[in-house]
Amino acid sequence: EPEVTQTPSHQVTQMGQEVILRCVPISNHLYFYWYRQILGQKVEFLVSFYNNEISEKSEIFDDQFSVERPDGSNFTLKIRSTKLEDSAMYFCASSEVRGGEQYFGPGTRLTVT
């Protein structure tokens, strides 16, 4: 069964460093999402992406964040200068149609020290 994959599973970085989180969505899906979950809190929407551009972003998704689909398979989330409060689990998701069922990757645990 097709699945969303994410790498790395765990990333430790120092405050101020740039990180890139990678996702490979399901191959025939057209809509891509990033969510994050701070430990002990609920999952929060960051950004949605379709047709090579951002379709919606949350207040969390400020200028420090960017997303890219550099080739036909990868979907990346970049955090330019990490802060302690960026420590969280980051989930990538994809769906075939707008508003359709979303399939989640296993997540990347980001720890900023």
Partner 1 sequence: KNEVEQSPQNLTAQEGEFITINCSYSVGISALHWLQQHPGGGIVSLFMLSSGKKKHGRLIATINIQEKHSSLHITASHPRDSAVYICAVGDTDKLIFGTGTRLQVFP
SS3 of the chain: the string is: CCCCEEECCEEEECCCCCEEEEEECCCCCCEEEEEEECCCCCCEEEEEEECCEEEEECCCCCCCEEEECCCCCCEEEEECCCCHHHCEEEEEEEECCCCCCCEECCCEEEEEC
Residues 37-66 that bind partner 1 (CB under 8 A): 37, 41-45, 48, 50, 55-56, 58
Residues 2-41 that bind partner 1 (CB under 8 A): 31, 33, 35, 37, 41
- Cβ closest to partner 1, residue 16 vs residue 100: 100
Contact region with partner 1 (CB under 8 A), list: 12-20, 21-29, 77-85, 101-109:
101-109
Q: Which residues bind partner 1 (CB under 8 A)?
A: 31, 33, 35, 37, 41-45, 48, 50, 55-56, 58, 89, 91, 98-104, 106-107, 109
